[in-house]
Amino acid sequence: MQKLNYFIEGLQGAGKSTLVQKLSERLSGYTVFREGDYSPVELAWCAYTTKEQYQDILAQYPSLKEEIRAKTVSEGERRIICYTQILTEIPDFHRNLEKLEIYNGNLDRASFEAVVLERFGKWDGEGQIFECSMFQNIIENQILYLGMGDEEILAFYRRLEKLLDDRPYRILYLDVEDIAGAIAVIQKERSDDAGNELWFPLMLRYLEESPYGKAHGLRGLEGLLAHLEHRRDLERRIIEEVFREKAVVLRAKEYQITESMITDLA
């Protein structure tokens, strides 16, 4: 029996982390990749550097050398640093390494797509669970920073699906109908003990300062909801038109994990 791989997808606040945890408890022996972890396919919250850039970072932050090395994985000529897992009060450390991610418009479209497709193309995992590794970060970058239209993004995912044609995987998509309600919940959940919101201001800044956000005048909660509604509708199209039988759509917060969802492939 060949073990399936699972990609857990959905908007912010859909409950992806909860579903990842539930699956990992049901599927013993599976490897879980969460946002910020080193992953064979995803690079969110990881700096993607050349050997030269890596040596420059070690020289720039000598007091963090050992921690940086401990959170670094080598892939050929590249060094991948899981920098958000390094706790430090050194000014601008995280901001500077964020500039070396593949997202936020740091790479042009051709370079970005080449990195993503190469990683998925080399991937041959089995028995793995991924948190928002196929849609969220890729699509956010394509819309907000690369200025790609829906048809261009669909074309990209058709290329990706062909690469994965013989791989044992399933997408579990948490579909959110009440986006405003989901955002309200996550605003409360991601606040400090004093009630100060931590996630929401960062998300608004990310949206408002993006080229797409500026061009479309997206501001505040109203702008965020408009963007997320667009993204949700696009993700629904990608599932319907590209992945079809490889995807299972679940109503966020109202689903049950069934045997048919987690049955291994013969």
pLDDT above 70 covers a percentage of the chain that reads 98
Q: Using the structure block, give the residue that is written with the tokens 């996550």.
A: 186
Tell me: pLDDT of 100 over 90: yes
Tell whether the torsion through CA atoms of 77, 148, 171 and 22 is positive or negative: positive
pLDDT tens sequence across 185-232: 889 888 888 888 889 999 999 999 999 999 999 999 999 999 999 999
CATH number at residue 161: 3.40.50.300
Whole-number Cα distances in Å, 244 to 127, 136, 239? 21, 18, 6
Amino acid, res. 178: D
Q: Give the closest residue to 174 by CA, choosing from 251, 260, 258.
A: 251
Predicted TM-score (pTM) of the model is: 0.93
Residue 90 maps to a domain: no
Q: What's the confidence (pLDDT) of residue 195?
A: 83
| pLDDT score of 265 more than 70 | no
Mean per-residue pLDDT of the chain? 94
Identify whether 87 is part of a domain.
no
Q: For residues 26 and 172, what is the distance between their CA atoms, to the nearest angstrom?
A: 15
Does residue 173 belong to any structural domain of this protein?
yes
* Model pLDDT, residue 171: 97
Number of domains within the chain: 1
Q: Domain limits at 16?
A: 8-45+101-262
**pLDDT tens-digit readout, 46-61:** 999 999 999 999 999 9
Does residue 19 sit within a domain?
A: yes
